[in-house]
Structure 1
Amino acid sequence: MTELHQDVKNWLAELKGRIHIAQQRVALAINRELVGLYRQIGCDILARQAEQGWGAKVIERLAHDLRAVFPDMKGFSPSNFKYMRAFAEAWPDESIVQQPAAQLPWGHNLVLLDRLK
């Protein structure tokens, strides 16, 4: 195998590693945003139920309205909104995520170790 061919193979391997790391970071960011959104929706439900009372059917109306606005999206069932409400009730403090350094995937360390070899 020529030195140039090996260089291209090494570069390709490094690119694949960077792509995997970027994919992991995107997945983490999406999950973090969704968890925050679900908690916020749960807090909103708690506040509206406190204002309007249980007979106001806050969850049922919300499920109906959001399914009408976003017909192709899943997750807007009354039971999911009840889970969001329970989540917000269980964790009223907004800081429920790990420190930023703890959120980094370990894959970036493996790429660095490969470079040191």
Structure 2
Amino acid sequence: MDYKLYTLYWNVVAYISQKIEVSEWGQSVVKEISEFIIKTEPEIRGFSDKNLWRMKQFYETYKDSPKLSPTVREISWSHNMVIFSRCKTPEEQEFYLKITKQEGYSKRELERQIYASLFERTMVGQSTLSPALREMDSELVNTFKDTYVFDFLNLPDIHSENDYRKV
């Protein structure tokens, strides 16, 4: 999605969000706005009432995060939908926004990484390093990390790494 379209979405939904917040408008106005846009500007896509509510959620998730606002505009809308709907903390959102941009994840790969708890594994991996190594280049930190995802093995929920090591 291009930067201009994000800016358009951001501005439209910022206006809607502010109007709803100060109770000047009721919730039914979103459907009316959607119908008005679709009727008057039929060549513009993406303004269904459901999309407007998603855009509102997107706006409200990132409006107080000026650090993340530029990054969300650099990845696709579908990637953003996955991140802001499945990540619980701003730190987790920032992590997946940056890694999606850096690694060029597809939507499916992003979902897989979130499901496999890449953020949590990365944070645990960094916390086991000495403070001196953590202060070094962030790329170096990830060099010392070996993580594996064995979802395909269908292991029971409770298992120990020691149970699977060679003796």
TM-score using structure 2 length: 0.36
Larger RCO: 1 or 2 (CA < 8 Å, sep 6+): 1
Structure showing greater radius of gyration is 1
TM-score using structure 1 length: 0.50
